[in-house]
Chains A and B, each alone.
Chain A
Amino acid sequence: MQTHATSKTPAQAARKSGAAPEAHPDMVRLAGVCKRYDDGRFVLQKIDLHVQRGEFVFITGPSGAGKTTLLSLLYGAEVSDRGQVFIAGRNITRLRRKELSHLRRGIGVVFQDFKLLPRRTVFENIAFCQRAIGVPAREASRRVYAVLKLVKLAEKRDLLPRFLSGGEQQRVAIARALVNRPPLLIADEPTGNLDPEMAREVMDIFASVNRIATTVVVATHDRSVIEYIASRTIRLEFGQVVRG
């Protein structure tokens, strides 16, 4: 699996960030991770888990169980209060700011609310992220067309997000997450705003990228989605792993 975060190969990009993706069998590993709210209550307590390279994993549990916080720790949006988070064998709690930025280029993130930029077209939403990591304009354009074909939105590239359905907006968000061909894809309730048919379409895309060796971690409390893919499920309750 390759990332096109820069003109470098994923291995080069990973080396720059200090990661060693080819060397470590675990794509994700959490060791004794704790995270508290500002008021002192625990969101996550002593989380130990690992996700192997190329695996498809669901993280499930009721609202407030800590799913979103757990995913935020994986791409460095949150920092654990205790314990360590390893991505491709690299302890991200010890990374410097710039190293973390480079590491993130190998992680695609999909959100429930899509987080698309409303003033930019479908094409610009994805190309913007390519330019933000320094990909030259022509190369970025080529990659964006390729990924738009993958999510079957090439013909809607010039539309603004508000003219798309929820499912289409989510596919744009997925295209943005996949445009770098990341070794790790993280999705936080990606089907939360979609009807069952759209949800299945989204999960099909995830399954197809997983088949070409991308590790996929999806947080959801939608049982139908979990049953549709039938993969390993880690269950969180009150900030603790109860199954997984």
Chain B
Amino acid sequence: MRRWSQSFPYFFKEALLHMRESRAVAALTVLTTTIGLIFLGALWIVHVNVAHLTENWRERFQIEVYFKDSATSAQKEAVRKMILRSKAVERIAERSAVQALESFRNQLRPDADVLNGLGLSILPFSYRVILRSGWRTVANIESLTAQVRVMAGVERLRNDIVWLRRLDGVIHLLRLAVWTVSVLLGLGVLFIIANTIRMTLYARRDDIAVMHIVGATDGFIRTPFMTEGVLCGLFGGVFAYLALLLVYHAFFLPMLSTYTDGSLLIQPVGWPLSLLLVGTGAGLGLAGSAITVSHYLRRQRE
């Protein structure tokens, strides 16, 4: 470890020397890596914001349990206890027949007069079940409704499970698309960096041959090239982040503040995005260069 840390300035200097000597190739690699990572970052922003938006919609999701007119207080209490036993439930709001009618009357205004003379109990007693954040999943809701539906006193349940199922489907598809495109973009960046390192290796084949003759280990030969790969990826990640930051502040933020309530595109442009881009860039650079150098050295041995 100490030996490696002593040699690190040498590795770093050699990597920068490689990049300076083939600066056009290095610049092109950083540029293409930057473009790839910009797309990756943009996809991530879209993904995070769609997830954020759908979570907002999900927040509004609730289950309504309507009771029969003949339901007794004991039956209502039994249902209440059973519902509250579920970990997915945050709280229950009761709505009596009178409160339901009042609410309906408010909705019908100014034509609420049509309800006059219908009596106070035309609408049933009900529970509004509010679910905990993060527990509003199709599986939780199906499990809960299946148990409640068969209980004594319950007339029917109302929920938006079909809508929720569709929403889950869309999110799943979106996630799949984001991952697929991200993997493809990642492979593209990996290929570009690997190719650059391959070109550097061939340009340096005499140096490598001499290093072998004088007794340099494969690890020592490999490290400057891997450092170069990491640097290309790192620079790509930093430039991609800066580009996204610029686009976000110069174009999206003014546009969104004009046309929306500002709930979109807030959280992704920060440390998580910069870490994602720089980390992915460096990781792909490391992997691309390691694969290429190992392959080259193995072929040299054969």
Contact = CB atoms under 8 A, between A and B. Distances in A.
A176 interface: yes
A106 B216 CA distance: 12
Contacts of A129: 210-211, 214
Given A102-B217, A128-B211, A131-B10, 14 more contacts: A77-B212, A97-B217, A101-B215, A101-B216, A101-B217, A104-B212, A129-B211, A129-B214, A132-B214, A132-B216, A133-B215, A134-B3, A134-B6, A180-B215
Contacts of B211: 128-129, 132
A77 B209 CA distance: 10
Nearest to B219: A98
B7 interface: yes
Most chain-A Cβ atoms within 10 A of its Cβ — which of B3, B21, B210?
Answer: B210
A117 B210 CA distance: 9
Contacts of A176: 214
A104 B215 contact: yes
A106 B214 CA distance: 8
B37 to A, nearest CB: 32
B215 A102 contact: yes
A94 to B, nearest CB: 15
Q: What DSSP secondary structure best describes chain B's contact surface?
A: helix
Nearest to B4: A134
- Size band of the interface chain A makes with B: 20 to 34
Interface string A65-109: 000000000010100000000000000000001100111111101
Interface in A114-148: 115, 117, 119, 128-129, 131-134, 136-137
Residue with the highest number of chain B CB atoms closer than 10 Å, among A103, A106, A133: A133
A5 interface: yes
Interface string B217-233: 11011000000000000
B209 A115 contact: yes
Contacts of A131: 7, 10
A109 B213 contact: yes
Contact of B213 (A77, A97, A98, A136): A77
Contact of A117 (B7, B206, B220): B206
Nearest to B297: A97
Nearest to A133: B215
A242 B210 CA distance: 32
